[in-house]
């Protein structure tokens, strides 16, 4: 029997597919709850980029942690996952925060010049180090639970 690239489907470990999705769901739910508490109402308008915890950090950290828990930190996939997590988190903390600052300046210029933008630019795009750290904690905890109970 030729299985090709698919391998033995009966032995497939779906935790690698499930973990980042669960991390995204948990981080997004926490972010919605935190934003709703801060706003004093359901904060559907605050869903998206930015905020505590970072969904992006939770997703990439969950994969790195799952690989560490299941394969060990000596596995090459762990190194790749850590490198990817590092790139994503650097991007969230620097590049995307700078884009948010530019959006804030453009919105201010539009207000001062009485120029109407079709929609104001979203100013909350990047993440602070605390938001990234919270995402990492969420990702690692989700990976731990899935690795332990799967």
d(CA 118, CA 84): 36
The phi-psi region of residue 74 (left if phi > 0; otherwise alpha if psi is between -120 and 50; otherwise beta) is alpha
Q: In terms of pLDDT, which residue wins out, 75 or 128?
A: 75
Query: Residues of the chain with pLDDT > 70: what percent?
Result: 87
Task: Summarize pLDDT for 45-57 with one digit per residue, the tens.
Answer: 767 667 889 999 9
Q: Please compute the mean of the pLDDT values over residues 119-146 and round it to a whole number.
A: 89
CA distances from 150 to 18, 83, 127 (A): 11, 26, 32
Nearest C-alpha neighbor of 61 from the set 149, 141, 4: 141
Tokens representing 59?
């997703």
Of the listed ranges 11-20, 112-121, 133-142, the one predicted with least confidence: 112-121
């Amino acid at each position: 029997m030729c299985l090709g690239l698919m391998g033995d489907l009966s032995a497939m470990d779906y935790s690698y597919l499930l973990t980042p999705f669960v991390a995204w769901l948990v981080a997004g739910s926490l972010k919605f709850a935190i934003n709703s508490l801060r706003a004093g109402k359901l904060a559907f308008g605050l869903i998206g980029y930015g905020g505590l915890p970072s969904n992006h950090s939770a997703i990439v950290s969950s994969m790195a942690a799952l690989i560490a828990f299941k394969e060990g930190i000596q596995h090459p996939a762990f190194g790749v996952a850590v490198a990817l997590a590092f790139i994503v988190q650097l991007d969230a903390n620097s590049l995307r925060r700078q884009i948010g600052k530019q959006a804030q300046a453009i919105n201010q210029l539009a207000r001062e010049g009485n120029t109407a933008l079709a929609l104001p630019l979203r100013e909350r795009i990047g993440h602070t180090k605390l938001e990234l750290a919270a995402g990492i904690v969420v990702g690692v905890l989700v990976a731990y639970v899935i690795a332990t109970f799967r």
